[in-house]
Chain A
């Protein structure tokens, strides 16, 4: 039995009541939170105690729409469909095992450094990704880029094999969902088969849905229906499904999301950078849909920093609708923590006894958190959403283990990961350019 106590920090529990302990503690035993409160817990000999004074202790962030990425900054100015055809697909078709492993490690590294404890990662070569997640210590839900065969990406067969090989790896921190690339590369038959596979495996579904106007037009042209209607009729939607983007939802599509209990990942930076637009998040929230946040991919956002995504999530809607009251800080923090966790059916996202111990520690002794009225919950929420970036994260704990402590990675070497990720990108890029 190993116990770890974080003592003296301001504890933002993100529980149902929004409880904040100005000088609080979090006590963990093995992979679980056992006690949270104000002051100091009753300690036993052998307990590890970490002083978190002048720090904020909160649940780890959940990146609800994530792709391992290899070619950040390689294509910055194209619309979605052209970007996919000239950048994303060529890169992921030319991955090798080593490139996938190190790209995943580098992607997870940046997330851990930014306080992300769970990623919902749709990519290829899931066994390599699963090993990278295990080795670095992050919690990862993996899914394939499944498309129709002629697109030469992944198949449902690949997804089934990945489930057999790595679902449940690393004490259950690695899971495998069924992933659907997007509707333009799928048809209703494939969607029905994907749902059948998810049901057979007892797992969830991760799908890109209604990301761009071009996708909506393609869906109308090929199927005579909007993307969410196609997904609904094929049985894809449901409380085990995460639909990413959902930028151009009609009222009826929002109603279908609500009716089926589908979770939405809002990815404002990616939607902006690719020129896809601004999702109708205020309407989604008003409809009672569970909405989390995602960075998407480093090729189309370029940062895995969910602090930045939180800020942009609030600001995009305010700018667009000329309304300073939208998307207030505490709500945005909930989206980045408990909403994401709920979408994945995880027992995380809140600092409450009985939950898994995915906890982050933020340093406040920096300009981002200055000025700070000690223990003032709204002031802290404000700084987290509007002022901080991922560099304030001092430590990241997943399943009760430090995966980063005092900014140093615990289980892998940062320098090696970055060097290998650079090598992998150069190798894959050479293949891509050689094939042109």
Chain B
């Protein structure tokens, strides 16, 4: 067992309970108790105690749209299409097992250090990613970059194979969804087959949808409808689908998302940096769509820090709508935790009895959390959403296992991961030169 005591416990549960000086108790990979004051239940010998005095204890964050990535900072000033064609596709076509593993392990480690406990990763070479995830201990949902064969990316057969070899591995921490690269590289038949495959495998779907005006124009020209309409007609939308970006949704498209129960990953930093625009997140939320947050890829947002994404998610809406009330702090924290978890069908994302033990501890004894009024829930949410960055993360626990302590990886030497990531980039750049 693991007993976390004396912390400020932000449960993010339905009642939005916060326990000042509360406890969280973990047995195996589940949370078995959460509440006010010290834990008074009996504990077996060998129970570890974490003193969370001066810390916030909250659910781990869920990065709902994620790509293992390699080329951060090399193509910062070009639009989406150019960035895909000049770097992203060449780089993911040049992967081998070692490169995929080295990139994945560095990215997952970075996410853990940022307090992210689950990533929804669309990339290639899923068995290599699964090995990296198992080694690091993070929870991952993997999906392929499926496109028509002429694009030389992944196929439905690749997805089926990846599902067979990896789904459910690492005590169920690794899952495989069916992933669709994006509509400009697909056809209605491929989308229908993908939806069918997901249904046959009893798994979810991860798709880029309506990311840029280019995409909307291409899809309208080729298929006579908007991206969400095409996805809907192909049977791709639904409760087990995560649609990423959704920047230029019409009211009708939002309505399709709502009526099908499709989950949206809002990725504001990536959408901004690539010049794709500003998604209508307030309208989606008002319609009752479940919206989580994603960083996307290090090539397009350059950070795995969901604290930064939470802040920008709110601020870019306030700036563009001239509305200082848009996306309040509590809402963006929910988006980064329970909404993401719900989108993936996970029983995590809040600290409640019976949930998966994905928990993070944040240090508050620093300028980012100063001033801090004792017992003031609203103040805490404000600092989490608007003042903090990932440097406050002290401890990251996934499935009951402590993977980050004192802000450092427990099982890895970060310097070694960094060296391997740098070497992998050098190799890759030579390969695609």
**Chain A interface (Cβ within 8 Å of chain B)?**
70-74, 76-80, 83, 106, 109-110, 113, 213, 268-269, 271-278, 298, 301-305, 308, 311-312, 314-316, 318-326, 328-329, 365-368, 370-373, 378-379, 382-383, 386-387, 389-391, 415, 418, 421-422, 424-426, 429
Chain A residues near B83 (CB, 8 Å)? Answer: 324
* Complexed CA–CA distance, A130 and B322 (Å): 36
Contact: B387 with A324, CB < 8 Å? no
Chain B residues near A370 (CB, 8 Å)? Answer: 72, 106, 110, 418, 421-422
Q: Does B68 contact A (CB under 8 A)?
A: no
The interface bits of chain B over 411-427 (1 if a CB of A lies within 8 angstroms of the residue's CB, else 0) are 00011001001101110
Q: Which of B83, B318, B326, B383 has the most CB of A within 10 A?
A: B318
* Complexed CA–CA distance, A74 and B328 (Å): 13
Q: Which of B301-342 contact A (CB under 8 A)?
A: 301-305, 308, 311-312, 314-316, 318-326, 328-329
* Complexed CA–CA distance, A371 and B366 (Å): 28
* Complexed CA–CA distance, A315 and B379 (Å): 27
Contact: A272 with B328, CB < 8 Å? no
Known: A275-B326, A302-B386, A324-B77. A316 touches B371 (CB 8 A): no
Contact: A324 with B308, CB < 8 Å? no
4 closest A-B pairs by beta carbon, nearest first, are A324-B275, A275-B324, A391-B391, A73-B382
Chain B residues near A308 (CB, 8 Å)? Answer: 308, 311, 389
Closest A residue by C-beta to B298: A387
**Chain B interface (Cβ within 8 Å of chain A)?**
70-74, 76-80, 83, 106, 109-110, 113, 213, 268-269, 271-278, 298, 301-305, 308, 311-312, 314-316, 318-326, 328-329, 365-368, 370-373, 378-379, 382-383, 386-387, 389-391, 414-415, 418, 421-422, 424-426
Contact: B367 with A110, CB < 8 Å? yes
Chain B residues near A315 (CB, 8 Å)? Answer: 269, 272-273, 312, 316
Min distance, Cβ B330 to any Cβ of chain A, angstroms: 10
Chain A residues near B213 (CB, 8 Å)? Answer: 322
* Complexed CA–CA distance, A71 and B213 (Å): 41
Q: Which of B76, B83, B321 has the most CB of A within 10 A?
A: B76
* Complexed CA–CA distance, A402 and B324 (Å): 39
Specify which of B271, B304, B371 is in contact with A71 (CB 8 Å cutoff): B371
How many A-B pairs have beta carbons closer than 8 Å: the answer is 211
Chain B residues near A314 (CB, 8 Å)? Answer: 273
Contact: A113 with B319, CB < 8 Å? no
Closest B residue by C-beta to A114: B367
Report whether over half of chain A's contact residues are helix, strand or loop; otherwise say mixed.
helix
Q: List 19 A-B contacts (CB under 8 A).
A: A72-B382, A73-B372, A106-B370, A113-B367, A269-B315, A271-B319, A272-B316, A275-B321, A275-B323, A276-B319, A303-B311, A303-B389, A308-B389, A315-B269, A371-B422, A371-B425, A373-B425, A389-B305, A418-B366
* Complexed CA–CA distance, A143 and B23 (Å): 47
Known: A367-B109, A370-B422. A319 touches B278 (CB 8 A): yes
Chain B residues near A275 (CB, 8 Å)? Answer: 318-319, 321-326
Specify which of A106, A273, A391 is in contact with B386 (CB 8 Å cutoff): A273
Specify which of B373, B382, B415 is in contact with A426 (CB 8 Å cutoff): B373
Contact: B386 with A368, CB < 8 Å? no
Chain A residues near B318 (CB, 8 Å)? Answer: 272-275
* Complexed CA–CA distance, A387 and B297 (Å): 12
Chain B residues near A70 (CB, 8 Å)? Answer: 371
Contact: B302 with A386, CB < 8 Å? yes
Closest B residue by C-beta to A389: B389
Chain A residues near B311 (CB, 8 Å)? Answer: 269, 303, 308
* Complexed CA–CA distance, A326 and B274 (Å): 10
Q: A72-B387, A367-B109 are in contact. List 7 more A-B contacts (CB 8 A).
A: A268-B319, A275-B324, A302-B386, A316-B316, A324-B273, A382-B76, A386-B301
Min distance, Cβ A319 to any Cβ of chain B, angstroms: 4
Contact: A387 with B303, CB < 8 Å? yes
Contact: B79 with A367, CB < 8 Å? no
Specify which of A73, A80, A319, A320 is in contact with B387 (CB 8 Å cutoff): A73
Q: Which of A320, A324, A372 has the most CB of B within 10 A?
A: A324
Closest B residue by C-beta to A113: B367
Known: A276-B322, A418-B367, A422-B370. A387 touches B72 (CB 8 A): yes
Contact: A106 with B367, CB < 8 Å? yes
Min distance, Cβ A225 to any Cβ of chain B, angstroms: 22
Chain A residues near B74 (CB, 8 Å)? Answer: 379, 382
* Complexed CA–CA distance, A305 and B316 (Å): 17
* Complexed CA–CA distance, A382 and B315 (Å): 22
Specify which of B79, B320, B389 is in contact with A319 (CB 8 Å cutoff): B320
Chain B residues near A391 (CB, 8 Å)? Answer: 389, 391
Min distance, Cβ A213 to any Cβ of chain B, angstroms: 7
Min distance, Cβ B270 to any Cβ of chain A, angstroms: 10
* Complexed CA–CA distance, A266 and B350 (Å): 38
Contact: B324 with A383, CB < 8 Å? no
Contact: B371 with A421, CB < 8 Å? yes
Q: Which of A113, A213, A321, A367 has the most CB of B within 10 A?
A: A367
Chain B residues near A83 (CB, 8 Å)? Answer: 324
